[in-house]
Amino acid sequence: MNINLNSPAPSGISLYALTALTLMLVSFQSLAEWSGDISFQNRYFLHDPLAQNPEQHNNYLSISSEIEYYNNFDSDDKSVTFTPFVRFDQYDKERSHGDIRELFYEQVYDGWELRLGISKVYWGVTESQHLVDVINQTDNVENTDGEDKLGQPMIKASFEKDWGVVDLFILAYFRERTFQDIEGRPRAFPVVDSNQANYESSDEEQHIDYALRWFQYFGDLELGLGYFNGTSREALFTPGNRNGQTVLTPYYPQMQQASLDAQLTTEEWLWKLEAIVRDWQNIDINTAQLIDESFFALTGGFEYTFVGVYESDADLGLVMEYLYDDRGIEATAIFQNDIMLGLRLAMNDADSSEALLGVIYDLDNQERLISLEASKRFAENWTGTLEVRGFNKIDRLSRLKGIEDDDFIQIDIAYYF
């Protein structure tokens, strides 16, 4: 469950529960394995905040920690995993948060396995965005790439057959997307007030979602088909009011989504495709009313790797993906007719030095999102990560309007134990 460290009573109780649970798990640690990290982060913004956001700052310090406890019984066939996460941010009260990324029991039977509890699941193959990955909610305050996920309560049964693997999911509680507080940066304008979330379903966050996935590989081809029926992880926004200030309030409609993901792996080439069809409600741009909508979106492309460039041990990968959404300018997604170009460098050295440079270019309005991620290991237990995000030529009618001056450089120094 999401624990907001700054809101009053309920979170306090959750934190006690978390501590109690931790102590309980420690008490039989003779069989257990503990591991984790503490990470120190500095995020520096190259420009002053926009005039509309006087609450924002130019430099943000934060510290985070994720710990994993794992214990197995009966020769690996039964196990318990517990992974709490916590971050404290210097200014952003919503980014200071805790989450149980995982707390589940898993049992492996002959030909199938069962997982009960809070867990994370990944679907998909592409690099630039993750259209088909729909089980877990995005922990949006963590980073701009959408790759950090909140723990999802679930019952998952996975069947391994000759004709593929079938995963069945019952998702027993909805996790709201996290949004930055007024001092957070980058963020939406006006600020999103998560406390005023609304739902299409009268069950609200208690709505039980279902999902189904089949995947199989045929030699060099990997194929996955997915289906999801439940509360949309993506939020829509309607204007609202908090203490006389205009805010955005999230609205979570019901959705049905079918998806396909495929990867063809040949020697130097990886060919990738993700496609979705979704039925849900959207807010009509002209009337501001909720309307039923169905749309199609895809991400497709390739990664070509030059192995051992210039007779070194390094590999250089060239990534190109096309991002499409058939709603065009009315898409709730940022990418509707965009090209991603990327360069991936893996030094294959003792320090695991690697870097990924990517540019996503909007073919309609020439917006450019620039991203650089580079990391290496120092000594045995430390790593350093550099991230740069740039928002270039943001269109004044764009959904990215408001973050055009939020280019930042972020350094993470992490200690692992």
Binding site for another protein (CB under 8 A): 33, 35, 37, 68, 70, 72, 76, 79, 106, 108, 110-111, 113, 120-122, 125, 147, 158, 160, 165, 217, 222, 263, 265-270, 305, 307-308, 313, 315, 348-352, 377, 380-381, 383, 414, 416-417
- Our CB check for another protein shows the closer of 81 and 332 to be 81
Of 302 and 361, CB closest to another protein? 302
- Closest CB to another protein among residues 83, 231: 83
Minimum separation from the CB atom of position 297 to another protein (A): 20
CA distances from 222 to 124, 277, 414 (A): 10, 20, 34
Residue 269 has which token pair?
């080439």
Q: What angle do CA 226, 133, 227 make, to 5 degrees?
A: 20
Q: Which residues of 68-84 are buried (b: 16+ CB within 10 A; e: fewer)?
A: bbebbeeeeeebbbbbb
Q: Which is nearer to another protein, 154 or 394 (CB)?
A: 154
Render the burial of 389-405: b for 16+ CB within 10 Å, e for the rest. Answer: bebeebeeebbbebbbb
CB of 308 to another protein, least distance (A): 6
232 closest CA partner among 212, 213, 251: 251
CB of 125 to another protein, least distance (A): 8
The beta strand positions in 120-253, using DSSP E, are 152-161, 164-171, 198-199, 209-218, 221-231, 236-242, 245-252
Measured from the CB atom, is 178 or 332 closer to another protein? 178
Phi and psi, residue 120, nearest 5°: -125, 140
Helix (H) or strand (E) holding 304: strand 290-306
Distance of alpha carbon 149 from its chain centroid, rounded? 4
Please state, in angstroms and as integers, the Cα–Cα distance from residue 317 to each residue in 10, 302, 308, 314, following that order: 48, 10, 11, 10
Nearer Cβ to another protein (49/146): 146
Rounded distance, CA 408 to CA 397, Å? 22
Residue 206, both tokens: 């208690």
Residue type, 140: N
To the nearest whole angstrom, how small is the minimum distance from the Cβ of residue 222 to another protein? Answer: 5
In angstroms, give the least distance from the CB of 374 to another protein. Answer: 15
Q: Closest approach of Cβ 302 to another protein, in Å?
A: 12
The nearer residue to another protein, 6 or 352, going by C-beta atoms, is 352
User: At its nearest, how many Å lie between another protein and the CB of residue 330?
Assistant: 31
Residue whose CB is less far from another protein, 100 or 236 = 100
CB of 350 to another protein, least distance (A): 4
